[in-house]
Structure 1
Amino acid sequence: MGNTAATVAGYIRSAGARFVFAYPGDPIIELMEALRAADVEVVLAGREGTAVFMAEAQAMVTGRPGVCLSTLGPGSTAIVNGVAAATWDRVPLLAISGQIDAGREELITHQVVDHKLLFSSVTKWAGRIHPGSVDAVMRKALRLAVAERPGAVHLTGSAETFAASAPDVGIAPPPLDGAGGGVRVYRVPGGPDPTAVLRSARRPVLLAGAGATRCGASGALLRLAEGVGAPVVVSPMAKGVFPEDHPLFAGVLDMACNQVVWEFLGGSDLVVAAGFDPVELIRPWSVTVPVLHVDTTPNTDQIYPSDCEVVGDVSASLEWLADGWRGEPRWSERDVAVHRERLRTAYYAGRVSGRLNPTDVIDVVRASAPPETVVTCDVGSHKLLVGQGWQARRPRSVLMSNGLSSMGFGLPGAIAAQMALGEVPVVALIGDGGFAMAATELRLAAVRGLRLAVVVFADGSLNRIELKQRALGYPSTATRLNDIDLVALAASMGCDGVRVTSTAELEKAAAAGLAGLTRPLLIEARVDPAQYETQF
Structure 2
Amino acid sequence: MGNTAEVVAGYVRAAGSRFVFAYPGDPIIELMEAMRALGIEVVLGSREGTVVFMAEAHAMVTGLPGVCLSTLGPGSTSIVNGVAAATWDRVPLLAVSGQIDAGREDFVTHQVVDHKLLFSPVAKWAGRIHPASVDTVLRKALRLAVAERPGAVHLTGSAETFAASAPDVPVAPPPLDGAAGGVRVQVADGGRDPAVVLRSARRPVVLAGAGAVRCGASGALLRLAQTVGAPVVVSPMAKGVFPEDHPLFAGVLDMACNQILWDFLAGSDLVVTAGFDPVELIKPWSLAVPVLHVDTTPNTDQVYPSDCEVVGDVSASLDWLTDLWRGEPRWSERDVAAHRRRLRTAYYAGRVAGRLNPTDVIDVVRASTPPETVVTCDVGSHKLLVGQGWQAPRPRGVLMSNGLSSMGFGLPGAIAAQMTLGEIPVVALIGDGGFAMAATELRLAVARQLRLAVVVFCDGSLNRIELKQRALGYPSTATRLDDIDMVALAGAMGCDGVRVTSVAALERATADLAGLTRPLLIEARIDPAQYEAQF
TM superposition score normalised by structure 1? 0.99
CA separation in 2, counterparts of 1:372 and 1:301?
34
Deviations 1:225-272 (A, max 9, x none): 000010000000000000101110000000000000000000000000
Following superposition, the deviation at residue 370 of structure 1 comes to 1.0
CA separation in 2, counterparts of 1:180 and 1:421?
27
- Report the equivalent of 1:442: 442
Query: What aligned pairs does 1:418-457 form with structure 2 within 5 A after superposition?
Result: 418-457=418-457
- Structure 1, unpaired ranges of 5+: none
1:520 maps onto 2:513 in alignment: no
Counterpart of 1:25, as a letter, is G
Following superposition, the deviation at residue 18 of structure 1 comes to 0.2
- Report the equivalent of 1:406: 406
- Report the equivalent of 2:40: 40
Q: Which moved more, 1:185-194 or 1:340-349?
A: 185-194
Deviations 1:34-67 (A, max 9, x none): 0001110000000000000000000000000000
CA separation in 1, counterparts of 2:129 and 2:116?
12
Counterpart of 1:525, as a letter, is A
- Report the equivalent of 1:264: 264
Deviations 1:473-512 (A, max 9, x none): 1111111000000011011111111100000100111113
Counterpart of 1:527, as a letter, is I
CA separation in 2, counterparts of 1:377 and 1:60?
13
Deviations 1:89-113 (A, max 9, x none): 0000000000000000001000000
Following superposition, the deviation at residue 280 of structure 1 comes to 0.3
Counterpart of 2:499, as a letter, is R
Counterpart of 2:508, as a letter, is K
CA separation in 1, counterparts of 2:319 and 2:497?
48
Aligned 8 A contact 2:59 2:91 in 1: yes
CA separation in 1, counterparts of 2:340 and 2:516?
34
- Report the equivalent of 1:151: 151
CA separation in 2, counterparts of 1:458 and 1:188?
51
Counterpart of 2:355, as a letter, is R
- Report the equivalent of 1:338: 338
Deviations 1:435-486 (A, max 9, x none): 0000000010011000100000000000001001111111111110000000
**Secondary structure in 2 aligned to 1:132?**
helix
- Report the equivalent of 1:94: 94
- Report the equivalent of 1:387: 387
RMSD: 0.5
CA separation in 1, counterparts of 2:344 and 2:189?
43
**Secondary structure in 1 aligned to 2:514?**
coil
CA separation in 2, counterparts of 1:46 and 1:405?
21
**Secondary structure in 1 aligned to 2:511?**
helix
CA separation in 1, counterparts of 2:527 and 2:424?
31
**Secondary structure in 1 aligned to 2:355?**
coil
Following superposition, the deviation at residue 326 of structure 1 comes to 1.0
**Secondary structure in 1 aligned to 2:310?**
strand
| Paired residues, number | 535
Following superposition, the deviation at residue 180 of structure 1 comes to 2.6
- Report the equivalent of 1:327: 327
CA separation in 1, counterparts of 2:59 and 2:416?
9
CA separation in 1, counterparts of 2:390 and 2:372?
13
- Report the equivalent of 2:184: 184
- Report the equivalent of 2:65: 65
- Report the equivalent of 2:229: 229
CA separation in 1, counterparts of 2:62 and 2:516?
23
CA separation in 2, counterparts of 1:52 and 1:429?
19
- Report the equivalent of 1:9: 9
CA separation in 2, counterparts of 1:18 and 1:316?
31
CA separation in 1, counterparts of 2:175 and 2:274?
23
**Secondary structure in 1 aligned to 2:263?**
helix
Counterpart of 2:286, as a letter, is S
Deviations 1:86-135 (A, max 9, x none): 00000000000000000000010000000000000000000000000000
CA separation in 2, counterparts of 1:527 and 1:520?
21
Structure 1 stretches of 4+ with a deviation exceeding 3 A read: none
Following superposition, the deviation at residue 361 of structure 1 comes to 0.2
Deviations 1:9-33 (A, max 9, x none): 0000000000000000000000000
Counterpart of 1:279, as a letter, is V
Counterpart of 2:523, as a letter, is E
Following superposition, the deviation at residue 189 of structure 1 comes to 2.3
Q: Percent identity?
A: 86
CA separation in 1, counterparts of 2:30 and 2:458?
43
Deviations 1:329-380 (A, max 9, x none): 1011110000000000110000000000000000000010111100001000
CA separation in 2, counterparts of 1:270 and 1:180?
25
TM superposition score normalised by structure 2? 1.00
**Secondary structure in 2 aligned to 1:133?**
helix
**Secondary structure in 2 aligned to 1:246?**
coil
- Structure 2, unpaired ranges of 5+: none
Counterpart of 1:517, as a letter, is L
Counterpart of 1:487, as a letter, is V
CA separation in 2, counterparts of 1:65 and 1:116?
21
- Report the equivalent of 1:130: 130
Aligned 8 A contact 2:148 2:180 in 1: no
Following superposition, the deviation at residue 190 of structure 1 comes to 3.7
CA separation in 2, counterparts of 1:446 and 1:207?
40
Aligned 8 A contact 2:459 2:527 in 1: yes
Following superposition, the deviation at residue 381 of structure 1 comes to 0.3
CA separation in 2, counterparts of 1:228 and 1:517?
45
1:29 maps onto 2:29 in alignment: yes
Following superposition, the deviation at residue 515 of structure 1 comes to 2.0
CA separation in 2, counterparts of 1:313 and 1:194?
16
- Report the equivalent of 1:375: 375
**Secondary structure in 2 aligned to 1:216?**
coil
- Report the equivalent of 2:75: 75
**Secondary structure in 2 aligned to 1:319?**
helix
Deviations 1:398-430 (A, max 9, x none): 000000000000000000000110000000000
Counterpart of 1:366, as a letter, is R
Aligned 8 A contact 2:500 2:525 in 1: yes
**Secondary structure in 2 aligned to 1:487?**
helix
**Secondary structure in 2 aligned to 1:154?**
strand
**Secondary structure in 1 aligned to 2:132?**
coil
- Report the equivalent of 1:504: 504
Counterpart of 1:92, as a letter, is P
**Secondary structure in 2 aligned to 1:515?**
helix
CA separation in 1, counterparts of 2:470 and 2:212?
39
